[in-house]
Structure 1
């Protein structure tokens, strides 16, 4: 990290970070969207005017404001205006509907709710009214503005909880994750430190700004002083013109995004799909080694992958100067200030190279959850967050994830890692994506089921052909699937397009 970025990263609050960057490079762009540009100076000045407009509506330090908005310049302005006031904001993914939105509004006790009105054919304002939301206002194009003279001084304390993010809630109600300005700055600093970016780069936001990756990425822009292209609706190949027009150098999101870019590149291998692109980066979902090798080989760009979650926006990240072996098979290393502890079933730390549960401690770790009971269950006696992820550390400090505790299949008393089988399946030329799940089985306890999404025009795969292939790859016999299902598309969420295994379990358990 440069000396300037390091100094900016010491800011106590997000608004202090905005002010410091605006003072350094006021005319440099920070956000690009279509024909529109927002500079760092405009982010500060317009952010203050929007904060004044919100203040006139009754928003004060500590007021809880929920917002459900797409990835737009206005959304970032609103978020930073709320940070200027010192309000508590709770972003909600715009694809969520009555159940998730109602839960978030009730649990957070939101006093105001910003909606996009009718967006992509759905009336969010009508839904908000039906849910009995308070203080509803639309913030898609027009934001309230006022005279900044009415504002109180900006918040000076960066350790007060001012953000409530929501876990995906794929198997139960979502959890409200509590973050501070400093935890979000620490997460973004980790990302910036690992990727070795500069002021000449152009980034991209193809994910919902309401995701924890929103502030994570924006902090990186503020630290290094470069812009990012925002995509309100991301789809390939439609989005490629924007990538090319703005000269994007850094793209990504998660493994599914890598696969989409790779598919576009394969349409014409003789022409680089985004001429200026030099780096794909992301996280949030497992990355099969073959995806790394295919991206580097076919797209002629580097790929760095990381490890993060709503509770800790950035834990580790691969660095562009890591070896290909490390980039393909690990999640990278943690930055200074992030402690990773690997423990056995008794909670005792294990040495490097030994698998166990991953636990975390550091400034980027959340303060817990809205529900105090969930907070008590989430941390151990030493203050480490219990992630539920399994893995091991290498002597170099790189982290290797081997699955989740709930993603271990127990067949006849033997533990089987779903990720190990998935990584091998991804190397099969016919397989676009794979999800391996455990299904209830009266005789075995659980049986191994591989659900496959195939490339267009690929040969049909059967249980016999899949098991023969895996045997040839050296997979132990007791780990071989006993069931293979082929689907047109694996079910995914709308944020980082993670595969929803619980839906597959529900479908095939019958």
Structure 2
């Protein structure tokens, strides 16, 4: 049940298939990809004394070596600790310490000053001459170390929008179940596909490598090693069958660039989006631009990429009378999980009644690393309590309203920030908006909207409220508008409402 077996199998079945690309340059076929992972696994064991079950961190920008090292870690029976490359090195050092990592790979091996890393953790260069020597010199470990489905594989640290991030423990079995859901519930995979890693590989983009390895598809790291819409369009035109995972903010930037170019998506197979709300106005523009290429997934680190999905067919069918209801939702439960909505006493709620979304199935984490209190509060009787508020309809369609901590209670009524944001996002002058609650002595809380206007646009708070009350109940309208140049976001592109509240 070692995830590295999929790479080993692909190399035996299709050794000459192209595997790794930097931009349009072929770096490795599946034979050399697997050989590199096996050799690096041997080096981890023999040169650095990494035993099965020990932790190895990756704090690197996207690159082909990232995929080689990930599979080498599992080949050696160890546990990968991917750290978002956008974090500050002090945050990465904290994660390495909390995770008890023995090694941390960085781009050049010289990122941390002496004493910044915990004593047991050694920094190594993940790119360059040292890695190339290890790949060439180390004898090939015969095959991946045998692991059980419950053995830890991926220690993922949450994005930490409030307080310290927590280490989500994901096993080989968890990630296998997640991967097998993808072609059933999200998007069929073939060897002709090109999986492009434009979002950080420490997160959702990296998790989708498994099923593409299993199917012998191509893996492309953009030459920029990150997200650039124009670069992605060039790769799509030249390589074809391009598929990628993107946050909604990335999709929005792709739409803007496509309109500048007059580009309609030629060469793009699939854009799988998730990780934050996709506002209806933005989705309408994306469908108008790219057509039937958009697929939505809803998941979280604790059930990675795998709670619900909304198919390309449903998203693209604007002629449906219920399209807006579908588009506002996050789709239907994926095939290996159960989804339920419960009240504060943990009792299931009837269709249409909002409550906390809970999920159970083989993708749900084992718990939080060295945090029994958080684990006990989140995993109850086999169910993962997501902290998200939503409701199911009679057909099983799940619609999210907000995170439980973000719900605004004003005058005894619940106001869900997302529904206010959805209305404001439709205003032609608004580029981005985020809504939070502010303490109020009379009402308990009042609604405050942080607004980013489109370039060259101006609009008053009074005009926005007049526009708002034509579309939604007046008691939900913002009592204050704060205009900003940009909204604070974490390293995954999620708006930091905790930061906005501190501005009040």
Q: TM-score, normalised by structure 1?
A: 0.90
1:255 maps to 248
- Where structure 2 has 5 or more consecutive residues not aligned to the other structure, the ranges are 318-322
**Given the alignment of the two structures, is residue 293 of structure 1 paired with residue 290 of structure 2, yes or no?**
no
Superposition pairs of residues 271-286 of structure 1, within 5 angstroms:
271-272=262-263, 274-286=265-277
CA contact (8 A) 1:178 1:366 kept: yes
| Structure 2 counterpart SS, 1:321 | helix
For 1:47, which of 37, 50, 53 is the aligned residue? 37
Task: Give the Cα–Cα distance (whole angstroms) in 2 for the partners of residues 427 and 211 of structure 1.
Answer: 30
2:354 maps to 355
2:12 maps to 23
CA contact (8 A) 1:408 1:417 kept: yes
1:59 maps to 50
1:432 maps to 431
**Given the alignment of the two structures, is residue 465 of structure 1 paired with residue 463 of structure 2, yes or no?**
yes
1:377 maps to 377
Per mean C-alpha deviation after superposition, the further-off stretch among 244-253 and 402-411 is: 244-253
Q: Against the structure 1 CA distance between its residues 194 and 29, is the aligned structure 2 distance closer, same or farther, given a 3 Å change threshold?
A: farther
2:498 maps to 502
Q: Against the structure 1 CA distance between its residues 153 and 428, is the aligned structure 2 distance closer, same or farther, given a 3 Å change threshold?
A: closer
For 1:85, which of 76, 80, 86 is the aligned residue? 76
For 1:38, which of 19, 22, 28 is the aligned residue? 28
Tell me the CA shift for residue 149 of structure 1.
5.1
2:235 maps to 242
| Structure 2 counterpart SS, 1:37 | strand
Task: Give the Cα–Cα distance (whole angstroms) in 2 for the partners of residues 340 and 130 of structure 1.
Answer: 41
Q: Against the structure 1 CA distance between its residues 469 and 233, is the aligned structure 2 distance closer, same or farther, given a 3 Å change threshold?
A: same
CA contact (8 A) 1:175 1:369 kept: yes
Q: TM-score, normalised by structure 2?
A: 0.91
Task: Give the Cα–Cα distance (whole angstroms) in 1 for the partners of residues 401 and 268 of structure 2.
Answer: 30
Task: Give the Cα–Cα distance (whole angstroms) in 2 for the partners of residues 290 and 202 of structure 1.
Answer: 29
CA contact (8 A) 1:105 1:133 kept: no
| Structure 2 counterpart SS, 1:389 | strand
Task: Give the Cα–Cα distance (whole angstroms) in 2 for the partners of residues 355 and 54 of structure 1.
Answer: 49
Q: Against the structure 1 CA distance between its residues 116 and 149, is the aligned structure 2 distance closer, same or farther, given a 3 Å change threshold?
A: closer
CA contact (8 A) 1:31 1:39 kept: yes
Task: Give the Cα–Cα distance (whole angstroms) in 1 for the partners of residues 5 and 144 of structure 2.
Answer: 11
Superposition pairs of residues 64-463 of structure 1, within 5 angstroms:
64-117=55-108, 124-126=111-113, 129=116, 132=119, 134-141=121-128, 142-143=130-131, 144-145=134-135, 146-148=137-139, 154-199=145-190, 200-215=192-207, 217-231=208-222, 232-268=225-261, 271-272=262-263, 274-314=265-305, 315-322=307-314, 324=317, 325=323, 327-370=326-369, 371-380=371-380, 382-458=381-457, 460-463=458-461
CA contact (8 A) 2:12 2:31 kept: yes
| Structure 2 counterpart SS, 1:295 | helix
| Structure 2 counterpart SS, 1:137 | strand
Tell me the CA shift for residue 264 of structure 1.
0.7
Q: Against the structure 1 CA distance between its residues 351 and 477, is the aligned structure 2 distance closer, same or farther, given a 3 Å change threshold?
A: same
1:489 maps to 486
Task: Give the Cα–Cα distance (whole angstroms) in 2 for the partners of residues 107 and 223 of structure 1.
Answer: 32
| Structure 2 counterpart SS, 1:125 | coil
Task: Give the Cα–Cα distance (whole angstroms) in 1 for the partners of residues 234 and 205 of structure 2.
Answer: 23
Q: Against the structure 1 CA distance between its residues 213 and 202, is the aligned structure 2 distance closer, same or farther, given a 3 Å change threshold?
A: closer
CA contact (8 A) 2:194 2:219 kept: yes
2:320 maps to none
- Where structure 1 has 5 or more consecutive residues not aligned to the other structure, the ranges are 1-11
Task: Give the Cα–Cα distance (whole angstroms) in 1 for the partners of residues 173 and 161 of structure 2.
Answer: 28
Deviation digits for residues 464-489 of structure 1 (CA, Å, limit 9, x no counterpart): 1111111111x111111001112111
CA contact (8 A) 1:91 1:210 kept: yes
Task: Give the Cα–Cα distance (whole angstroms) in 2 for the partners of residues 153 and 350 of structure 1.
Answer: 46
Deviation digits for residues 48-83 of structure 1 (CA, Å, limit 9, x no counterpart): 111112112211211221221111110110010010
Q: Against the structure 1 CA distance between its residues 24 and 334, is the aligned structure 2 distance closer, same or farther, given a 3 Å change threshold?
A: farther
CA contact (8 A) 2:297 2:330 kept: yes
CA contact (8 A) 1:87 1:162 kept: yes
Deviation digits for residues 402-459 of structure 1 (CA, Å, limit 9, x no counterpart): 111011011122110000011111211111121111112223221111111222222x
Q: Against the structure 1 CA distance between its residues 130 and 339, is the aligned structure 2 distance closer, same or farther, given a 3 Å change threshold?
A: closer
Deviation digits for residues 319-346 of structure 1 (CA, Å, limit 9, x no counterpart): 1233642651221222222011110121
